[in-house]
């Protein structure tokens, strides 16, 4: 688990105004690092395509950037398959898009660009997924939390494969995926036994909506309620009705530094994000919120900036979410942003899944909660 850490010492020249501002920022950072609002410390097979996939649980009924340690798991919302148009399938058998059914008669072998060796590797899908899950979660978590993550990661990987040339790893390296979480998903070189067992227990299982793999986004902690797609990715044209706000109990399991946080942002940084001069940054406030309560518009001087764009400019490991609780000015052109949770807030809440699993809730029900209206199916044996 990685812990975001501050920069090293800053040299300050006597009489230099810029130096005194830098010193002030360092002192602010040191105070904030103690923890806002909390005490310190505190495959061969015949290629005939199947008519559909075996459904695992029926309809996933009512009641998904950063990993659980705060790592940014993705810079964007992933591959963009075409919109689903089929009618909702009846219970029992779940028909799949013909291209999906033909491609996944058996477990695929995929290519992975490994940044550790700066070269592509070839491995079976399930082997790759074990490394992904190990990189995305804490391996001490409950088995059902690990299984929920395995299904989400497998579904996300299937979407990458189906995206083909549109997928970032394919464009950059000519591979199906990569080990960079900003390009695909996290990746650990080692796989603990608990993770291997979770991947094996869910072998071949993915989530579908109207017969197609879903946009299986996930994040570290939603802090009470997950987000809608437009709140976090306002320019994403996809229809994903299962990515909608639902209650999430991550506050019951996540550590304090993920539940609540604060960060100092300079007027210079805000000016760049808004296309202004620093002198024009006289006001910074939340101007609008979305269905989940997350900020969707930030007023910076005379201009409005989408909160997700501001987070991208400032850095997702600094401005950890758009669920902002306060923006406070300080002297010297510094603004303190306070917020809750970590990540874009879409789909599976990883710490929320752990909290649910601790209460004995199965991975099937966890997935049904975070991706409402979807179905869990076994894509290949």
pLDDT in tens, 150-204: 999 999 999 999 998 889 999 999 999 999 999 999 999 999 999 999 999 999 9
**Alpha-carbon span 180 to 170, nearest angstrom:** 13
Q: Is the pLDDT of residue 12 over 90?
A: no
* Residue 296 or 65, more confident: 296
Structure confidence at residue 54 (pLDDT): 54
Q: Region of 267 please: left (phi>0), alpha (psi -120 to 50) or beta.
A: alpha
Asked if 292 and 321 touch (Cβ cutoff 8 Å), the reply is no
Structure confidence at residue 102 (pLDDT): 86
Asked if 276 and 300 touch (Cβ cutoff 8 Å), the reply is yes
Tell me the pairing of strands 109-114 and 177-178.
parallel
pLDDT in tens, 104-148: 999 999 999 999 999 999 999 999 999 999 999 999 999 999 999
Q: Is the pLDDT of residue 264 over 60?
A: yes
* Residue 1 or 284, more confident: 284
Q: Give how far the C-alpha of residue 175 lies from the chain's centroid of Cα atoms, to the nearest Å.
A: 22
DSSP H/E element including 52: strand 52-59
Going by the DSSP 8-state scheme, the letter that residue 219 receives in this structure is E
CA-CA-CA-CA torsion sign (8, 12, 18, 21): positive
Q: Is the pLDDT of residue 91 over 60?
A: no
pLDDT in tens, 302-331: 999 999 999 999 999 999 999 999 999 999
Asked if 36 and 325 touch (Cβ cutoff 8 Å), the reply is no
Contacts of 31 (CB under 8 A, 6+ apart): none
Structure tokens at 53: 């996939």
Angle between helices 143-163 and 363-370 (to 10 degrees): 50
Mean of pLDDT over the chain:
82
Structure confidence at residue 98 (pLDDT): 82
% of residues, the chain, pLDDT over 70: 75
Q: Which of 107, 106, 108, 126 is closest to 50 using CA atoms? A: 106
| Most distant CA atoms of the chain, gap in Å | 78
Structure confidence at residue 132 (pLDDT): 98
**Alpha-carbon span 305 to 177, nearest angstrom:** 32
* Residue 225 or 31, more confident: 225
User: Cβ of 120: how many Cβ atoms within 10 Å?
Assistant: 15
The residue assigned the tokens 């790592």 is 71
Structure confidence at residue 46 (pLDDT): 27
CA-CA-CA-CA torsion sign (110, 111, 117, 118): negative
Structure confidence at residue 93 (pLDDT): 54
Confidence of residue 65 (pLDDT cuts 50, 70, 90): low
- The runs of H, that is alpha helices, within 13-88 are 17-33
Asked if 36 and 320 touch (Cβ cutoff 8 Å), the reply is no
Confidence of residue 94 (pLDDT cuts 50, 70, 90): low
Structure tokens at 292: 């989940």
Structure confidence at residue 61 (pLDDT): 31
Q: Is the pLDDT of residue 38 over 70?
A: no
Asked if 254 and 351 touch (Cβ cutoff 8 Å), the reply is yes
Strand-pair partners of 334:
266, 330
**Alpha-carbon span 178 to 184, nearest angstrom:** 6
DSSP H/E element including 325: strand 324-330
% of residues, the chain, pLDDT over 90: 70
Structure confidence at residue 334 (pLDDT): 96
Structure confidence at residue 283 (pLDDT): 96
Confidence of residue 254 (pLDDT cuts 50, 70, 90): very high
3-state secondary structure of 270: helix
Mean of pLDDT values over 366-371: 98
Q: Is the pLDDT of residue 40 over 60?
A: no
**Alpha-carbon span 349 to 317, nearest angstrom:** 17
**Alpha-carbon span 81 to 213, nearest angstrom:** 9
- The runs of H, that is alpha helices, within 54-211 are 98-103, 125-136, 143-163, 168-173, 193-201
């Amino acid at each position: 688990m990685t812990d975001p850490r501050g920069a090293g010492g800053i040299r300050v020249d006597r009489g230099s105004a810029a130096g005194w501002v830098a010193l002030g920022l360092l002192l602010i950072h040191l105070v904030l690092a103690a923890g806002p609002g909390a005490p310190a410390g505190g495959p061969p097979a015949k290629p005939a395509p199947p008519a559909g996939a075996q459904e695992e649980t029926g309809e996933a009924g009512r009641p998904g950037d950063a990993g659980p340690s705060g790592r940014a798991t993705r810079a964007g919302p992933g591959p963009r398959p075409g919109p689903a148009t089929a009618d909702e399938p009846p219970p029992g058998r779940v028909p799949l898009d013909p291209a999906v059914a033909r491609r996944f008669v058996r477990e695929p072998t995929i290519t992975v660009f490994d940044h550790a060796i700066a070269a592509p590797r070839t491995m079976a899908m399930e082997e790759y997924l074990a490394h992904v899950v190990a990189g995305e979660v804490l391996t001490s978590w409950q088995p059902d939390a690990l299984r929920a993550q395995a299904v989400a990661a497998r579904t996300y990987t299937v979407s990458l494969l189906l995206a083909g040339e549109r997928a970032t790893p394919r464009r950059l390296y000519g591979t199906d995926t990569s080990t960079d979480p900003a390009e695909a998903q996290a990746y650990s070189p080692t796989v603990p036994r608990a993770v291997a067992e979770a991947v094996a227990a869910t072998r071949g299982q993915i989530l579908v909506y109207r017969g197609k793999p879903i946009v299986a986004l996930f994040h570290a902690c939603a802090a009470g309620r997950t987000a809608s797609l437009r709140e976090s990715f306002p320019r994403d044209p996809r229809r994903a009705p299962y990515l909608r706000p639902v209650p999430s109990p991550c506050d019951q399991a996540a550590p304090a530094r993920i539940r609540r946080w604060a960060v100092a942002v300079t007027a210079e940084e805000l000016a760049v994000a808004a296309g202004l001069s620093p002198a024009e940054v006289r006001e910074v406030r939340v101007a609008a919120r979305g269905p989940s309560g997350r900020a969707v518009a930030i007023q910076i001087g005379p201009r409005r900036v989408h909160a997700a764009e501001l987070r991208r400019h400032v850095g997702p490991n600094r401005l950890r979410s758009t669920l902002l609780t306060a923006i406070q000015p300080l002297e010297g052109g510094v603004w303190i942003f306070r917020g809750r949770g970590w990540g874009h807030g879409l789909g599976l809440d990883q710490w929320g899944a752990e909290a649910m699993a601790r209460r004995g809730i199965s991975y099937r029900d966890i997935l049904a909660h975070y991706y409402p209206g979807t179905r869990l199916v076994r894509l290949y044996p």
